[in-house]
Structure 1
């Protein structure tokens, strides 16, 4: 029997990613073309540490021409969405979202999607409602199909020029 789990997981990850950005753009009134996002997320899986970062150990800002893509939402009402994607990496996608007090994080590692509830700390900048420092972890994330777990150790990002809604 042919194992279709990896192609299926890849397809599901792409669908979730597309749906995430479509929902973000539609529900919060549009997208900013080039938000500024810098940071890094680290997970452990079976004792192995994996990271996704925006470059320079999380110090470089994502730009439209780079190998790392990102998007964010920091609405005035405390809702949050941050995502970073790096094509071709084992740890290729990270996102965290807090909508209406339901915080969660998800990661894609080697085409497999893991997700779970995860406390997110948002420190909005008082002078700019679309800029914030956000962090999450530690928390466990679960692969839905078989219950396999990874641990989000830390996720720390600085975002600005994010879209928002009043």
Structure 2
């Protein structure tokens, strides 16, 4: 049932939000020259997939977890995109393709070995990664791998349809700051 909700939400989200996506893409061209950011992430069953986001950092920023990146790398427009969570909208494509869910553990990079170990031990990779989830609305980011993995596992084990919508609403209305940048 969740997959059907994911697909319909992603489909209609892309259908109705295409003007926003287009405007952000055009502004992004002037901001960084490359408005879309594609990065390989760890997916369900640790299968790699290409996560799509709007670029919020300068092009020459090293490919590391957000909490390891410098705040100075974020552009002014990127700061706005992060604050409003508009930078996450292209992930609706990942959701429509079945690579992600709207709600699930945030997908990490393959070089985040400690987090991979913690999540693997708890079976977190048995589910699709998500755009948002319990850890995000509680401001738990990837800088605390053990806590994040435990929170992800708690969410997976107790996720109801009601919680699914609660996490989406909390994210859209501004709860949680996503992954912190130092």
TM-score (norm 2): 0.32
- Between Structure 1 and Structure 2, the one with more strand by share is 1
TM-score (norm 1): 0.34
- Between Structure 1 and Structure 2, the one with more helix by share is 2
